[in-house]
């Protein structure tokens, strides 16, 4: 299983959960699986071009832009973090 | 006292939860001249994190209150330059061009992108910071401007975004982020090239600081190979703001 850490703005889609788990061999597969349980999540992360601008997705400490993007391979126990642009202070 | 002509100038964009702790640190460096940029007033809900202000400052403007607090703490008044305005399309390049570094702790995306663009166009380094709830991010962009804020976040998000007034922000998290921004600023000003190109993300619920590399995006509209942003156009910076 892969653990996905959900940022505050998206927790309304996960019933307030800060992290959820889903199976999947790639980042894209995990997002598709999560979409089944948490409808609307995929559209907040992806558009027709791929990962939406102002959203960054990490596997562990690595930005998937610098790996294989949505096709980045995962192994059991990996953690995906979603980091949207934030403004505040 | 250091020669005033030798002082390095830092433009502090936003005297809020990030600007206050950053200022508290930077004000203790006598080699710095601090340009304070804000036109907001102190609100009661600011006090838990905007540490330069006291109860008596509520309703008064942040600029005067911050100056008063710093001077009372021993900062020479001539080291503080008041800019009683927000960073705006009409003043951004002029202000940025007159300093050695920009420290951006704005509470809205429009100002963040405006500061990023102005810093790149004027060839000035910039330190960005943001905090919402338990999460904070900070990073420094070199004067050469790559990778830049737009490499990561591309453009002003459409529609209303949750900011500190809607989602809340934890005082210790924003204080940590402000201190980290000051650390990055001092590293940049001292010529430490390793200060650049890493995005720091702090999770206050886990006390975990993640440092991840950022790389230039070849098609970045600001610092890419064929940039489309070559000047400041007001229409580019429109988004609802989060009241500090």
Partner residue opposite A7 with nearest CB, options B135, B163, B199: B135
What chain A holds in terms of domains, given with CATH numbers, is 2-84 (3.10.20.30)
* Tens-level pLDDT at each residue, chain B (244 residues): 455 558 999 999 999 999 999 999 999 999 999 999 999 999 999 999 999 999 999 999 999 999 999 999 999 999 999 999 999 999 999 999 999 999 999 999 999 999 999 999 999 999 999 999 888 999 999 998 889 999 988 888 876 555 556 668 899 999 999 999 999 999 999 999 999 988 999 989 888 898 888 888 888 999 999 999 999 999 999 754 443 3
Predicted TM-score (pTM) of this structure:
0.89
Length of chain B: 244
Instruction: Please give chain A's pLDDT, 89 residues, in tens.
Output: 999 999 877 888 999 898 999 999 999 999 999 999 999 999 999 999 899 888 889 999 888 988 999 999 999 999 999 988 889 88
Domain ranges of chain B: 4-236
Taking the Cβ of residue A1 and every Cβ of chain B, the question of whether any pair is shorter than 8 Å is answered with no
Could you give the maximum distance between any two Cα atoms of chain A, in Å?
Answer: 37
Q: Is A65's Cβ below 8 Å from some Cβ in B?
A: yes
The verdict on whether B164 is a catalytic residue reads yes
| b/e map B124-145, b = 16+ CB within 10 Å | bbbbbbbbbbbbbbbbbbbeeb
Q: ipTM score of the complex? A: 0.82
**Residues of B in Cβ contact (< 8 Å) with A8:** 132-135, 162, 167
Q: Which of A7, A65, A89 has the highest number of chain B CBs within 10 A, making it the mutation to test binding with B?
A: A89
What CATH number was assigned to the domain covering residues B4-236? 3.40.50.720
Residues B229/B231/B232/B234 CA torsion (nearest 10 deg): -80
Nearest 5°: phi and psi at B212? -120, 145
Cα(A68)–Cα(A26) distance, integer angstroms? 9
């Amino acid at each position: 299983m892969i653990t996905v850490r959900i940022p505050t703005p998206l927790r309304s889609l996960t019933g307030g959960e800060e992290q959820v788990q889903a199976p999947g061999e790639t980042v894209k597969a995990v997002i598709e699986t999560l979409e089944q349980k948490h409808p609307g999540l995929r559209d907040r992360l992806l558009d027709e071009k791929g990962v939406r601008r102002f959203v960054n997705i990490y596997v562990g400490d690595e930005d998937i832009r610098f790996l294989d993007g949505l096709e980045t391979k995962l192994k059991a126990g990996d953690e995906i973090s979603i980091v949207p642009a934030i403004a505040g202070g | 006292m250091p020669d005033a002509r030798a002082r390095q100038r830092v433009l502090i964009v936003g005297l809020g939860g990030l600007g206050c702790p950053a200022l508290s640190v930077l004000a203790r460096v006598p080699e710095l001249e601090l340009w304070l940029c804000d036109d907001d007033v102190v609100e009661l809900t600011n006090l838990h994190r905007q540490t330069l202000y006291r109860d008596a400052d509520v309703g008064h403007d942040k600029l005067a209150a911050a100056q008063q607090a710093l001077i009372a703490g021993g900062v020479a008044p001539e080291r503080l330059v008041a800019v009683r305005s927000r960073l705006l399309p009409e003043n951004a390049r002029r202000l940025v061009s007159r300093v050695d570094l920009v420290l951006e702790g704005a509470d809205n995306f429009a100002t963040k992108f405006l500061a990023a663009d102005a810093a790149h166009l004027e060839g000035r380094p910039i330190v960005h910071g943001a905090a919402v709830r338990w999460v904070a991010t900070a990073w420094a962009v070199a004067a050469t401007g790559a990778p830049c804020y737009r490499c990561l976040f591309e453009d002003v998000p459409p529609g209303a975004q949750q900011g500190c007034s809607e989602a809340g922000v934890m005082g210790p998290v924003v204080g940590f982020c402000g201190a980290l921004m000051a650390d990055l600023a001092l590293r940049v000003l001292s010529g430490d090239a390793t200060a650049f190109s890493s995005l720091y993300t702090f999770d206050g619920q886990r006390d975990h600081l993640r440092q991840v590399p950022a790389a230039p995006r070849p098609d970045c509209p600001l610092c890419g190979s064929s940039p489309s942003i070559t000047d400041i156009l007001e229409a580019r910076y429109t988004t609802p703001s989060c009241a500090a």
